[in-house]
Amino acid sequence: MEKGIFKLAIFGLFMASLNTSAATGPYTAHIKQIQATELGNPYNTIYLDLDITDSPCSSTNSLDRLTLYSEAQYSMALAAFMSDSQVTIYGTGECYFDIERINNMQIKK
């Protein structure tokens, strides 16, 4: 019985190690610029007034920008930009054409 529990515990630790999330952030800042191109283009980006240092794209992301992944994110970014509100953003940890993709965004007033 104890061997079974030990094996189950080892298996659980192994499975947990496979589920390592590379999500980054949070980045809390103001949006200083929005760039929009065609829908689905990786260069639909926001530029933050914050140095992004923990992104996996840091070596190529000297402009402190993140990729907007959906229309909802673009709408939120535009609202935050127009109202000069702070945003808190979590990245996915994935580089999309050398720019990290946004996973989650919140507007703070």
Provide the pLDDT for residue 51. 86
Q: How far apart are CA 35 and CA 44, in angstroms?
A: 5
Q: Per the confidence metrics, is the pTM higher than 0.75?
A: no
The answer on pLDDT for 98 being more than 60 is yes
Retrieve residue 15's tokens: 């499975």
Residue ranges of domains in the chain, CATH in brackets: 23-108 (2.40.50)
Q: Higher confidence at residue 68 or residue 98?
A: 68
| pLDDT tens track for 26-61 | 999 999 999 988 876 777 899 999 988 888 886 656
CA distances to 9, 22, 59, 72, 92 from 89, rounded to whole Å, are 35, 14, 19, 14, 10
